[in-house]
Amino acid sequence: MKRIRRFWTGVAAFVALGLSQAWADVTVLGWPGGPEEAALRKAAEAYNAKAADPDKVKLIFFNRDGFFDKLAADLAAGSKDFDLNLLATYAIGRYAPFMDPITLPDTANDVFGEKVLATMQYGGKQYGVPTDLSLHFMYYRKDLIDKLLSDPAWKKRYEEISQKLFGKTLDPRSPDDWTWDDWQATAMFFTKSINPDSPTRYGSVLQMKNLLFNMMVWHSTARSQGGDWMDSSGKITVDSPAFRSALELYKKLYDAGASPKDSMTYEYAEANAAFGSGQAATMLQWNAAFADLDNKDKTPAVAGRIGTAPPPAGSAGRFTHIHGLGLGLNKASEHKESALKFLDWLATAEAMEIYAKAGGSPALSDALTAKLATDRPDLVKLGQYAGQYGFVMNGGTAAKALQVYELQAKEFTAYWSGAKPLDDALSETSAGMTELLKP
């Protein structure tokens, strides 16, 4: 009898312990499959090592494909399967109704700075901790550009190509000084079908798939010509010379064969594969690609020979699209207190140091970045470019911003593929955006 009682007491204690664990753990839904996942795992590991049992965090990840759609459906359904979830600058307006605003400790300002904290704000309220900042680099093959800048025969050929392209002779320039014309001429020069002596098959690799993220990459081109989604009065301004010339630039490069034939289906991974194979000389790509491309084990064909520069300059200057990824609080969470403790910790210098060293890309204050410069030299450029060239389109955080990106992706890819004239694509985008962004 005694034994039986002891057995049941043991079972009850075990179940109670298990249940308390199951009820107390904070579940975090993170951005899957990239450096962000690896970094979040390390940060969670460090946090769990010292957090009290009820505050410990566990991580879950969806597939990247359709991530934001699935997240929208879960949040709208009031899912309690996660307490903290990924948040992106361009989707805050969409998710804000299903999330709780948060108040970060004052020290968060010293860690991130106001501009970066603002990437996680909507309607004047803070919705998340900005864990990663994304912007674009112009990736180029350092070895090839060095030769172009020094070899007289290559220079002469470059001048001939630029003369044919623009009716004027351009001299090769360093990517840090490129205008879009310089990039275009360089891309043509390194295209085998245009210049049979080119060591690469293509001068560039464009991401032209009907996908919202590809619009973000392309936007730097339009913004540098002075383009914006709308003016200060709320009037949609995409049917403009800036958008027109930026769209024409991509089409000209694609039609000339300076980008792979299947570019209309290319996104992040395909573009990296092309550049990583050593067959494309330049690529406008997300900063997150650098670590893998420069890794000798993963990309032996180009690692160690990659240079990065800010996107080329247009008539209005040099710009790069910028957005933040972060973690915010699900309104339906049943562990808000514990979840907030994790967010508070995540906004500390200690947490961000761990996160950055594990591969994440936080935009941190100068003092913190300097501390991390040996391990993560790319973070120095990240902070620098974000401050100097970063922009968010006017309306880029609106509740329907994602739908605007989707609309542009559909219309602009129709133009690039030749299925629709430019005038129609621009006027239909303008009409659609007027409807989507009306107050």
Partner 1 sequence: MTRSAFQRSQRREGFALIAPLTGFLLVLLGFPLLLDLVYSISKVGFETIRAPEITGLGNYAKALADREFWSAAWFSLRFGLLVSGIELTVGLALAIFLEPLLAKRPWLMAFLMLPMMVAPALVGLMYRLILHEFVGVAPYYLSLWFGDSPAFFSNDNAFKTLVAVESLQWTPFALLILHAAHSAIPLEVREAAALDGAGEWKRLAYVDLPLMGPAIAVTFFIRFIDSFRVFDNVYTLVGAGAGGATTSMSIYIYQAFFKVGDIGLAVAASMLLLAGSFVVLYALNWAARR
Phi and psi angles of residue 299, each rounded to the nearest 5 degrees, phi first: -135, 70
Residue of the chain from 270, 292, 294, 344 that contacts partner 1 (CB under 8 A): 270
Specify which residues 284 forms β-bridges with: 138
CA distance to 128, 232, 274, 298, 322, per residue, from 209 (Å): 30, 31, 15, 25, 20
Residue of the chain from 48, 240, 265, 394 that contacts partner 1 (CB under 8 A): 265
Q: Which residue has the tokens 């969409």?
A: 94
Q: Taking CB under 8 A as the rule, does residue 416 contact partner 1?
A: yes
Q: Which residues contact 15 (CB under 8 A, 6 or more apart)?
A: none
Q: Report the nearest approach of partner 1 to the CB of residue 421 (Å).
A: 11
Q: Taking CB under 8 A as the rule, does residue 97 contact partner 1?
A: yes
Phi and psi angles of residue 226, each rounded to the nearest 5 degrees, phi first: 100, 10
Specify which residues 412 forms β-bridges with: none
84-88 and 26-30 strand pairing: parallel
Nearer to partner 1, 154 or 416 (CB): 416
The binding track of 386-415 with respect to partner 1, each residue x by CB under 8 A or -, is: --------------x-xx--x---xx-xxx
Q: Report the nearest approach of partner 1 to the CB of residue 29 (Å).
A: 17
Specify which residues 128 forms β-bridges with: 328
The binding track of 48-87 with respect to partner 1, each residue x by CB under 8 A or -, is: -----------------xx--x--xx-xxx----------
Residues in the chain: 439
Rounded distance between C-alpha atoms, residue 435 and residue 432, angstroms: 5
For residue 307, the surrounding DSSP H or E stretch is strand 306-309
Q: Which residue has the tokens 């501009």?
A: 115
Rounded distance between C-alpha atoms, residue 195 and residue 202, angstroms: 10
Q: Taking CB under 8 A as the rule, does residue 209 contact partner 1?
A: yes
Q: Report the nearest approach of partner 1 to the CB of residue 405 (Å).
A: 9
Q: Are 242 and 226 in contact (CB under 8 A)?
A: yes
Give the binding range for partner 1 (CB under 8 A) out of 131-139, 149-157, 223-231, 267-275: 267-275
Give the binding range for partner 1 (CB under 8 A) out of 166-174, 208-216, 309-317, 381-389: 208-216
Q: Taking CB under 8 A as the rule, does residue 210 contact partner 1?
A: yes
Q: What is the CA radius of gyration of the chain?
A: 24
For the segment 350-379, give every residue that binds partner 1 (CB under 8 A). none
Nearer to partner 1, 320 or 430 (CB): 430
Residue of the chain from 208, 258, 354, 386 that contacts partner 1 (CB under 8 A): 208
Rounded distance between C-alpha atoms, residue 134 and residue 325, angstroms: 8
Q: Taking CB under 8 A as the rule, does residue 300 contact partner 1?
A: no
Q: Report the nearest approach of partner 1 to the CB of residue 423 (Å).
A: 14
Residues near partner 1 (CB under 8 A) are: 65-66, 69, 72-73, 75-77, 94, 97-98, 208-211, 260-262, 264-265, 270, 273-274, 276-277, 279, 400, 402-403, 406, 410-411, 413-420
